[in-house]
Amino acid sequence: MRLSVLDTSPIVQGSTPREALRDTADLAELAEELGFHRYWVPEHHGMRGVASSAPAVLVAHLASITSRLRVGSGGVLLPNHPPLVVAEQFGTLAALHPGRIDLGVGRAPGGAPSVVSALRRSDQPYRAQLLELQSLLTPASTVAVPVMDVPDLWLLGSSPGTSALASELGVPLAFARHLNPGVSCAADLVSVAVICAEDDERAEWLAGPIRTKVRSRREGTRILLPPPNGLEPLPDDGRVLVGGPAAITQKLQAVLEETGTSELMITSPIYHHADRRRSYELVAGIAGELRAG
């Protein structure tokens, strides 16, 4: 049973992108100390609340400040890039950090249409792009240099349809349950949103900001994650698993049994970095009680 981390480098109210990236580096070092298996960062564009827009650059930094942790993208949005460029970037990373680099890829745009248009997204079918990327990610390739130590290729998705494509291509599937919690899908890795604190009451208080942010999005407004002080209590909408260690143990075990996975990737949308660190410490502490589905 493995636990891993998904970190969007959140820019919360009152903070800056530089602070968000600094916190990501700090959290990666903590994750390694706590025994987490991998640490993935996503690709987003034009989002005020997300500092992770260039995963290859961020992966390079995180790999350089850790020594054991697997580091990767969760994920590179392949239609935004020529497959050759992705193969070269992650082949270089794998050559610099052998046996530690993961390349998770997805097809989402990663931002609003007004921003995504600047990316000059490819019209090539996604499946064709994946096949091209696979052909380049091999030591036998004479095109993508320096692909020597090949990064592990993962397919990311938030719907069961991606499972069939992953099976066809023979690559492991990472299912983004935190984006689509109402859907169940058998996967090699499942990402879940978790807020854990010393007791259920404090965890509910820490969950106030993300519930407020989700409600604002549904109402057509976009806000940065606010501090928990003075927020109106909102009901649990099921997007985030919230509770003390005992409650989180039960909820994570239910996800394991529902999906059959042997690896959970935890993302924790918490305002204060110290509270986010503590949530991961508490989750690491219950790892021994969890059993693969």
261: pLDDT strictly greater than 70:
yes
Distance CA 256, CA 247 (A): 14
The residue ranking higher by pLDDT, 233 or 86, is 86
Is residue 27 within 8 Å of residue 7, measured between CB atoms? yes
Structure tokens at 224: 């940065």
pLDDT confidence tier of residue 13, bands split at 50, 70 and 90: very high
3-state secondary structure of 78: helix
Q: Which fold has domain 2-289?
A: TIM Barrel (3.20.20)
The pLDDT, as a whole number, for residue 119 is 83
Task: Name the H helices within the chain.
Answer: 17-34, 55-65, 83-96, 113-116, 126-136, 161-169, 200-218, 245-259, 273-285
Q: Look at the block and give the residue holding tokens 């052909």.
A: 135
pLDDT confidence tier of residue 146, bands split at 50, 70 and 90: low
The pLDDT, as a whole number, for residue 217 is 87
Q: Look at the block and give the residue holding tokens 């066809």.
A: 168
The pLDDT, as a whole number, for residue 153 is 96
Taking alpha carbons only, the member of 206, 186, 174 closest to residue 273 is 206
145: pLDDT strictly greater than 70:
no
What's the chain's average pLDDT? 92
Sign of CA dihedral 209, 213, 219, 220: positive
Amino acid present at 225: L
The pLDDT, as a whole number, for residue 148 is 64
Tell me what the mean pLDDT of segment 59-88 comes to.
96
- The share of the chain scoring above pLDDT 70, in percent, equals 97
Distance CA 59, CA 78 (A): 16
Distance CA 187, CA 168 (A): 14
pLDDT tens string 199-238: 999 999 999 999 999 999 888 888 999 999 988 888 888 8
Full DSSP string of 235-249: ---SSSEEE-HHHHH
pTM of the predicted structure, to 2 decimals: 0.94
76: pLDDT strictly greater than 80:
yes
Tell me what the mean pLDDT of segment 180-203 comes to.
91
Tell me what the mean pLDDT of segment 81-101 comes to.
94
pLDDT tens string 21-34: 999 999 999 999 99
Is residue 217 within 8 Å of residue 211, measured between CB atoms? no
The pLDDT, as a whole number, for residue 254 is 95
The pLDDT, as a whole number, for residue 74 is 94
114: pLDDT strictly greater than 90:
no
182: pLDDT strictly greater than 80:
no
Amino acid present at 3: L
Distance CA 99, CA 120 (A): 32
Q: Which residues of 217-227 are buried (b: 16+ CB within 10 A; e: fewer)?
A: eeeeeeebbbe
